[in-house]
Amino acid sequence: MSDFSCFEFKDDKLIFIDQTKLPIEEIYIQTDDYERIAEAIEKLEIRGAPAIGVVAAYGLVLSVREFSHNREEKFFNAFERMRATRPTAVNLFWALDKMRIAFEENKHLDNIYELLLHSAREIHLDDIERCEMIAKNGLMIFEKTCYVLTHCNTGQLATGGEGTALNIIKEGHENGFVKLVYVDETRPLFQGSRLTAFELEKANIPFKIITDSTAAFLMKNKMVDVVITGADRIAVNGDTANKIGTYNLAVLSNFHKIPFYIAAPTSTIDLNCESGKNIKIEERKKSEILRIKDIQISKENYDVYSPAFDITPNELITGIITENRLHKPPYNFNDKDC
């Protein structure tokens, strides 16, 4: 276990690390206001598909903390607010639906707060367990000591547990399979160079930060053995939405005959989504491209197109690692897989 915590629910408050300040500052925020949690998700102070599902569940708990005759209205106001924060990561909607069911089954009871808190903690503990199983199942992709390339952040900062793709990398390093990690900086918000580097440093795993456009050069020179990324939504046919730039890596890996793996809990699989064509892609505001933090690097009047995610077609994915097993193509996920 690393010596920091992404978030925890304690004394009727959510305590979370502000990821926008990392790695320079480790600042923790405490709140008992679900609106503040929703804002944190939107601002990427809290991010990562599994993580936002867990913290949104805690947000719904806080919406009924104080007894009120209109607690049902308050709950569903909070429910819709959380649903509106980010559209692509299916884990968010998966967790919110679980909390909605728990509320509807128990809304007539006086101890609804305690019952919802129990449900949220179950979602949190479930994610911790899934992360551990993903890491164990991911070990089978290693056959030798490897140089690994990863994109964005998929560790403790992105989940309720130890992570997905990054947890596989940690497990691989502990077992002697990972020699070095190449960390894509991950434009435009640098989740790789800020967050993944922060976690790898904490775990004492050797790494080098690279610009996103360096990956092809590394692969051409046979400096990468395997690529592992996370996912924000996986369709039934295996098409995968993940941080913008993931598709680039999949194409490059395919061309250079390098294995390309996705790691995600089964809560990321959307059984109502047949293919990547059905996945809604979030578009971010242009200031994230034209500015780095508070420093303007281009003109404000310039137009920008900034999708937060891209879609990797299933035929480019060597395998999808979940808590259940390593799935190989052709992919056709169903209820038994989830």
pLDDT reported for residue 1? 37
Map out the domains of the chain as residue ranges: 7-132, 137-327
- Per the DSSP assignment, residues forming a β-bridge with 309 are 243
Distances (CA, A) of 206 to 108, 166, 197, 296: 54, 13, 10, 33
pLDDT reported for residue 5? 76
Task: Report the SS3 class of residue 167.
Answer: helix
- State if pTM tops 0.85: yes
Mean pLDDT by 10 residues, the chain (338 residues): 77 97 96 98 96 98 87 96 95 97 94 97 98 98 97 97 98 98 97 98 97 98 98 98 98 98 97 97 96 94 98 98 97 90
DSSP per residue, 218-282:
HHHTT--SEEEE--SEE-TTS-EEEETTHHHHHHHHHHHT--EEEE--GGGB-TT--SGGGPPPP
Q: Spot the catalytic one: 127, 184, 225, 232.
A: 232
Helix or strand holding residue 111 (H, E): none
Residue 149 and residue 309: Cα distance in Å, rounded? 18
Question: Which CATH fold would you assign to the domain 137-327?
Answer: Rossmann fold (3.40.50)
Distances (CA, A) of 302 to 283, 296, 299: 16, 12, 6
pLDDT reported for residue 3? 61
Question: Which class would CATH give 7-132?
Answer: mainly alpha
What residues contact 275, with CB distance under 8 A and at least 6 apart?
A: 235, 236, 237, 239
337 assigned to active site: no
